[in-house]
Amino acid sequence: MDGGASYNPRTVEEVFRDFKGRRAAMIKALTTDVEEFYKQCDPGTWFLFLFFKWRIYGWLHGFNLDKKTNSIIRCLSRFYSWYLCLVLDAQNATELIKTLITEKENLCLYGYPSEQWEVNLPAEEVPPELPEPALGINFARDGMQEKDWLSLVAVHSDAWLLAVAFYFGARFGFDKADRKRLFNMINDLPTIFEVVTGATKKQTKEKSSVSNHSSNKSKSNSKRGSESQPKYSKAAASKDEVEDGMEEEDDEEHGETLCGACGENYAADEFWICCDICEKWFHGKCVKITPARAEHIKQYKCPSCSNKRARP
């Protein structure tokens, strides 16, 4: 654990940079370096034998394993291995002792700001200087499918990264605005779980297909409704007119146009709408019509024409 214990980012940008480095390291361990990561998370043969044996015993007697029980199992596994040494020859006993000495304990996956990862034992100091990642990821390795195990490690890694980032935020007194900004910066990145499981690619494909569908739908709707749509807003249509090089013609055509309600001149930065009956132009605010509402009006009638039509 020599990769970042003494590094203390103090600003939002520094904490985010630290987060990205650790995140990149853990993604690397779970994707490009997954074979090496898998090897380093070996739970040990003798331990697994007794672990599953004791686990079955626990299920039969209706209790779950806790930390104390796990410690007892580790001790029993060592005694059991030493007992086997007594019944084996010297060469096999030596190999067995060597295995015991190098046998893995509860291991953790660490990611460092330098984008380097490491599988190692948890910190001995209590409490640790930084929040600790999930403990004992190696013991679950052989008890489940590899992809499920990697997904499990990814989820715990995401939780650890957030814990470390907001630990720095609390330690260096980030206020509400800083914490919110940090969270938004982090939230813009895909989680490790999404990267490992491929959920990011699926979301991208779904978003692109939805956007294409909606754009095609809007184009078809605009073609259908072009004849029946009312004439409205030079301001709303000005973007299209700029693209077509028609802005100057529009200003000349409507420069002397007066609002049928208030009598004021046309202004390019205002929303106007035309009555399809009397063909007079009105300020949107004068007739209480917004651009969004105008989009859904097939034929617009000004208040005067509406009142005339309503009379017997």
> How far from each other are the two terminal CA atoms of the chain, in whole angstroms?
89
Please give the sequence-ordered ranges of beta strands (E in DSSP) within the chain, or none if there are none.
108-111, 117-120, 272-274, 281-283
Backbone angles phi, psi at 120, to 5 degrees: -155, 170
| Cα 227 from chain centre | 44
Tokens 């007697």 sit on residue: 61
- Say which residues have a Cβ less than 8 Å from residue 248's Cβ, sequence separation at least 6: none
Fold of 228-310: Herpes Virus-1 (3.30.40)
Of 309, 283, 305, nearest to 294 by C-alpha is: 283
User: If you write DSSP's letter for every residue of 134-183 in order, what string do you get?
Assistant: -S-TTTTGGGS-HHHHHHHHHHHHHHHHHHHHHHHHHHTT--HHHHHHHH
| Adjacent-strand bridge partners of 210 | none
CB 159 within 8 A of CB 167: no
Domain boundaries, the chain: 12-43+104-204, 228-310
Q: What string of pLDDT tens digits covers the 312 residues of the chain?
A: 555 445 678 899 999 999 999 999 999 999 999 999 999 998 865 444 444 444 444 444 444 556 666 666 666 666 665 665 565 555 565 565 555 444 557 899 999 999 999 999 998 888 888 999 999 999 888 888 999 999 999 999 999 999 999 999 999 999 999 999 999 999 999 999 999 998 766 665 555 554 555 555 454 444 444 444 455 554 444 445 445 555 555 555 555 677 877 777 777 778 888 988 888 888 888 888 888 888 888 888 888 787 765 444
